[in-house]
């Protein structure tokens, strides 16, 4: 039971943010979020054997599945209240800007990471919840881009969504955002023709669904400009945060061309990981990223991949300062590349 409760922390934090917004001032929430990181020290890091047990629980347990579904329902409900708060005119213009950025951070941390997990499910309910969460985040093409682009092309030189050694986040973001849009709606991934058509069709349907939500806001909201600006703005912030995390997770880890001319297969060494328990609970095990890209490795003796030097929130701050990022990460990435 205690293990299930830990995976409800994202919903608890979102409800806390909502409470502070309604009855006090929402910006105090980030002090709580920062202080909560003491749990990383208190709970420590996963060992190799603990990772094995945690992965089995997270992906095989009925209780874990229920908790993920419950999280999705709560997060969607909370977002509906966010829309009401904006539409009610409770926030001044400056508070609305701060509120939009704050919700975008929460969406990027909790909504997108939960959707990322649910879209890998084989049940219609969980896939549908993932789609709804991604509409909230304003990333309608995420599912197909992630499954048919990112998971197949990770670490390849032609993959613009894998940050190359020496690329700042800002260079990476410009290339990755356009590459995802281009592959999702205009060109496509190297797949059979019928599958490419189905993927584009699904992406267009999701994009039209998002436009329908925008139209509904414009027609029925009391303050349509404010609500629409909030919806689009928080979605943009959440997308930037998603790309920041993706930049961090794969920076400088390239798949090589082997002597026989074939591409190196995906290995544990092609993603950076953070093993702190609290961070993994609030991000639905996304920081244990190597195993996510190589599910067959879950039965292997060693489940540990390259390790990030700091906690995720520190790595995000570091990624926004390219000089500091390069000083820390370039030697680490080069060392891991040389080991392979």
Domain chopping of the chain, boundaries: 2-339
**What are the residue ranges in the chain where pLDDT is below 50?**
none
Degrees, nearest 5: CA angle 78-81-85: 140
Our CA angle for 299, 289, 155, nearest 5°, is 105
End-to-end CA distance of the chain: 41
CB 110 within 8 A of CB 133: no
Question: By the 8 A CB rule, do 283 and 249 touch?
Answer: no
Judge whether 158 and 255 are in contact, CB under 8 Å: no
pTM listed for this prediction: 0.93
Which token pair is 227?
């609500």
What is d(CA 114, CA 71) in angstroms, rounded to the nearest whole number?
Answer: 8
The answer to whether the beta carbons of residues 37 and 311 sit under 8 Å apart is yes
- Smallest CA-to-CA distance from 320 within 243, 260, 268 is with 243
Q: Residues 172, 162: contact at Cβ < 8 Å? A: no
User: Residue 335 is encoded by which pair of tokens?
Assistant: 């060392």
Whole-number Å distance between alpha carbons of 270 and 280 = 19
State the maximum Cα–Cα separation within the chain, in Å, rounded to a whole number.
65
Q: How many CB atoms lie within 10 A of CB 196?
A: 16
User: What is the rounded CA–CA span in Å between residue 125 and residue 115?
Assistant: 12
| Interatomic CA distance for residues 82 and 77, integer angstroms | 9
Question: What contacts 18, CB < 8 A, 6 or more positions away?
Answer: 78, 81, 82
pLDDT 10s digits, 173-210 = 999 999 999 988 887 777 788 888 888 899 999 999 99
- Assign residue 228 a region (left: φ > 0; alpha: ψ between -120 and 50; beta: otherwise): alpha
Per-residue model confidence as pLDDT tens digits over 295-322: 665 556 788 889 999 999 999 999 999 9
Rounded percentage of the chain residues whose pLDDT exceeds 70 = 97
At residue 217, the pLDDT reads 96
CA distance linking residue 95 with residue 329, whole number of Å = 36
> For residue 313, how far is the Cα from the chain centroid?
13
């Amino acid at each position: 039971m205690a293990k299930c409760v830990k995976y409800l922390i994202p919903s608890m934090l979102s409800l806390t943010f909502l409470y502070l917004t309604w009855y006090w001032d929402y910006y105090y929430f980030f002090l709580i979020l920062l202080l909560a990181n003491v749990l990383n020290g208190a709970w420590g890091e996963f060992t190799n054997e603990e990772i094995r047990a945690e992965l089995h629980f997270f992906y095989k347990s009925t209780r874990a599945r229920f908790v993920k579904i419950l999280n999705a329902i709560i997060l969607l409900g909370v977002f509906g209240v966010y829309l009401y708060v904006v539409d009610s005119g409770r926030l001044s213009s400056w508070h609305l800007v701060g509120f939009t950025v704050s919700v975008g951070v929460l969406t990027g941390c909790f909504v997108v990471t939960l959707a990322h997990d649910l879209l890998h499910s084989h049940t219609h309910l969980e896939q549908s919840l993932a789609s709804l969460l991604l509409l909230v985040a304003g990333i309608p093409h995420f599912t197909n881009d992630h499954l048919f682009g990112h998971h197949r092309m990770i670490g390849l030189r032609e993959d613009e969504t894998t940050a190359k050694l020496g690329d700042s986040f800002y260079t990476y973001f410009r290339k990755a955002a356009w590459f995802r849009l281009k592959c999702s709606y205009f060109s496509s991934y190297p797949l059979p023709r019928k599958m490419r058509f189905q993927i584009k069709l699904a992406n267009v349907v999701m994009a039209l669904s998002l436009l329908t939500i925008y139209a509904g806001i414009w027609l029925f909201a009391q303050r349509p400009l404010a609500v629409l600006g909030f919806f689009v703005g928080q979605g943009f912030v959440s997308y930037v945060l998603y790309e920041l995390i993706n930049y961090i997770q794969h920076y400088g880890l390239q798949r090589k061309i082997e002597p026989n001319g074939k591409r190196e297969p995906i290995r544990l060494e092609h993603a950076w990981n953070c093993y702190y328990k609290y961070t993994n609970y609030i991000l639905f095990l996304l920081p244990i990223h190597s195993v996510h890209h190589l599910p067959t490795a879950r039965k292997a003796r060693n489940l540990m991949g390259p390790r990030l030097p700091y906690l995720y929130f520190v790595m995000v701050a570091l990624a926004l300062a390219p000089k500091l990022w390069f000083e820390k990460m370039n030697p680490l990435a080069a060392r891991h590349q040389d080991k392979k």
